[in-house]
Each structure stands twice: as structure tokens, then as C-alpha cells.
Structure 1
């Protein structure tokens, strides 16, 4: 395999700034944007797959716990509480993956809004300085979605329904399959922990879940499909 030409000097200004020539040539620039879009779209798809994989684990875990918990009356009710804790762990993993996924998706949406949409219907770009925004983000990639927003989005789309199913199953386990002599509150006890304490802790946790799910703060994740556009412009 032959190496680079002997007269090739990668430190020379002409060779070092070769990519800058594309900024002044329209055909070269549009070609470069096409390759950039495909690369960023590939990264977005890869991280989308990682998010879906975590969601699949959560769904399988929920289904398995429900099947096992109701397979016999002697099954302990707290196994459903353990399942809730595992879902919270999956939620943390998925929220982190979602924040990284949004890095690539933001770039894809920036190109779609300002290059491809304008090529199909030239009404002007969404962000006049989109080239500067994309350049800055390529030079210094940053996570744009706050942790609370990532958790809120994943709760609203996946984990609040799953946690609600486990909560309903747990309450049914206490009321229908619990000891009728002790009642639902007595049946909720775990070892030396009274049922009142267990019910109180579960109630507080689910109240927190509801608050975070409907978090009223402005959304910073860019380009996510939704019924009403309430996302802010690229930051």
C-alpha cells in the first residue's frame, strides 16, 4: 500500500484548510451536508435503538413480574415493589441514553429544518445562523437536554404507564389476595415495617412520579414528535 506523496505537507495552510474551500463552493458544500446528514442520522438511529432496547427490558420485566406475582396466592406482594424499583433503574439508564441521543437528533433536525426543508420549499431558514450553530456544536458537542426533562419525557411515554400497571397490580394483590383478617393496610406490611409506612412511601413515590411526568418547565429537547409544538428554538 503506497503512502502519501512525499511533497504532501499536512501542516501547510493550504492542506490544513482544505475543508474550508467547501464553504465557498455551493456544490461542494451541499454535497458535504448530504454526507453529514447521513452520518448524524446513523448515530441517531444507533442511539434510538439503545433507548428501545431499555424499553423492551422494562416491558418484559413488568410482564414477567405480573405473571409470577399472580401465579399463586402465596406469592409475596413486595415482589411488585421490587419491580417498581427495577423500573426506576431502567428509567435512569434510559434518561441518560435519551440525553445523548438528543445530541445527534438536534443536529439532524437542524439540517432538516434549514437545508432540506428550504430546498423543498424555499421560504427561508428557521435559524439564519444555523451554519454557525452546527459548527459550534461539532467543535464542542454539548448535551442540551436537562436531566429532569429527559426523565419527564421517558416517564410520560413509557414508565408512568408501566409503573401504574404495577401499582394497580400491587393494590389488587393487597385487597383481593391479601389476608382478610388484617385488611389491606396490614397486608402491606413488609417484615417489621408497618403497612402504613409502606403505603405512605409508595404514595409519596407515585406523587413524585406524577409531578415529574407533567413537569411544567419549557422543553429544550429538539424535534421530538408531539401533538403541539412547545419546543424552543435551537440553543
Structure 2
């Protein structure tokens, strides 16, 4: 046991400390290392994309189940759809964090594609003159590439805006067309909260969803195809 401790505490040899520096000076070895790094980045990005898809699938399943239950009988309360909106917000919070991790790994993949593979196919110059230093710094000090606001906006714009809209339309239909025996204000009310207040709060919530989906206009997510015209290179 003492021998193991002595072996663990022994400092590294100088050759071991300089091995990475030697790789940096060897172009062939460095390109091999970058290929492995590229494949690893794709694997990490794919794994996080799958986690995002799983959350989205659960959200869709929740909506389908709630709509089936609420519209199965006139006696089912409309506030169940409001509960669904709250749960959907929880799923959205999970997706925002997972999207930021996904974008972190995807940005590294795009960085290698821009500065190594693109220039290898047509050597017209790299996008970043000090790309090796930038990538090295990001590996030593990893940071998210998009803000919470942008991640939230992207997920609402692409997926959750539609899901929230389905629940909202379902709620309006439930308190109006599917409860003919009572006024909509009575069908919409919660314990201690009038139906008018509930409707106003929901209206404000959906207005905020529209604002979030449209803002911010400037995107920082690297590798996103946003607002670009379709390319024609496949037709050439």
C-alpha cells in the first residue's frame, strides 16, 4: 500500500509533461487527434440532442393525455389544461439547459469544420487566425455559447410555442363550446379566482410566449441555419 502511495505521489517525468507539446508540433499526429476530437464532439452533440428529443416526446405525450382526459366528459374541469401548461413550463426549463449543452458541443464541431475541414477542401484561409488557441482555451475553460434567453427563445419558437398554443386553444374550447350548461366565466374559474382573472392571466402568459419566440433577433448559436436562403450547390 505504501509503495502504491509512493508511486502516486511521484511527479511526472519531463517527457510526460511535454508529450502534448510534441503532438502540437507534429502535423500528422495533430490531424489524427483532431479527427478523434471531431468524432467525439459529434457523439456528445448527438447524445444531448437525443436528451432534448426525449423531453419533447414526454411533453407531447402529456398534451395528448390531457386533451383525451379533459374532453372525454363534460364534467372534466378546464383547469386540468392549466396544470398541463405549468408542467409544460417545467419541461421547457429542462430543454433550455439541455439545449445549451447541445450547443456547446455543436459549436466545437462547427469550429473544427470551419477552420480545418473547410480549409482542407479549399485552402482559402481559416475563419479564425488563432483557431487553435481559441479551441484550446474553450477546452480548458468551457463556457456556454448561448444565453438562457436565446435558448428559451429557440425552444419556444421551434417546438413549445405550438404545444402551448394547442393547450390554449383546448382551454378556450373547453370553457366555451364544451360546457354549454354554464357561462364561460364559471367554467374558467379556479377555487378563489374568478374566470375573468384566469383568462387575463392566461392572455398575458401567451403574449409573453409570442414575445419570447420573436426575441432576441440576433442569434449567437453557432452552426444554426437561421434566416438563410436555400443553397443551390446541389443543382450545379
Fold shared, TM-score > 0.5 on shorter chain: yes
Measured after TM superposition, the shift of residue 69 of structure 1 is: 1.1
Compared with structure 1, are the counterparts of its residues 219 and 139 closer, same or farther at alpha carbon in structure 2 (3 Å cutoff)? Answer: same
Q: In 2, distance between residues paired with 1:203 and 1:150? A: 23
Q: What's the CA shift string for 1:70-115, capped at 9, x where partnerless? A: 1111111010111111110000000011111111111111001111
Q: In 1, distance between residues paired with 2:104 and 2:43? A: 13
- How many residue pairs end up in the alignment? 222
Measured after TM superposition, the shift of residue 146 of structure 1 is: 0.7
Equivalent residue for 1:3? none
Q: In 2, distance between residues paired with 1:110 and 1:158? A: 27
Q: What's the CA shift string for 1:20-66, capped at 9, x where partnerless? A: 11211111111111011111111111111111110110111111111
Measured after TM superposition, the shift of residue 211 of structure 1 is: 0.6
Contact kept? 1:50, 1:97, Cα under 8 Å? yes
Secondary structure in 2 aligned to 1:115?
helix
Secondary structure in 2 aligned to 1:143?
coil
Measured after TM superposition, the shift of residue 10 of structure 1 is: 6.2
Contact kept? 2:150, 2:216, Cα under 8 Å? no
Q: In 1, distance between residues paired with 2:182 and 2:14? A: 86
Equivalent residue for 2:133? 132
Q: In 2, distance between residues paired with 1:228 and 1:65? A: 37
Q: In 1, distance between residues paired with 2:63 and 2:99? A: 21
Query: Superposition pairs for residues 1-235 of structure 1, below 5 Å?
Result: 11-182=12-183, 184-228=184-228
Contact kept? 1:179, 1:187, Cα under 8 Å? no
Contact kept? 1:186, 1:194, Cα under 8 Å? yes
Secondary structure in 2 aligned to 1:124?
coil
Secondary structure in 1 aligned to 2:146?
coil
How does the TM-score come out when normalised to structure 1? 0.89
Bigger proportion of residues as helix: 2
Compared with structure 1, are the counterparts of its residues 192 and 133 closer, same or farther at alpha carbon in structure 2 (3 Å cutoff)? Answer: same
Bigger drift between 220-229 and 118-127 goes to 220-229
Q: In 1, distance between residues paired with 2:43 and 2:138? A: 17
Bigger drift between 170-179 and 159-168 goes to 170-179
Q: In 2, distance between residues paired with 1:181 and 1:73? A: 11
How does the TM-score come out when normalised to structure 2? 0.89
Q: In 2, distance between residues paired with 1:64 and 1:225? A: 33
Q: In 1, distance between residues paired with 2:153 and 2:170? A: 23
How big is the alpha-carbon RMSD for the aligned residues of Structure 1 and Structure 2? 1.8
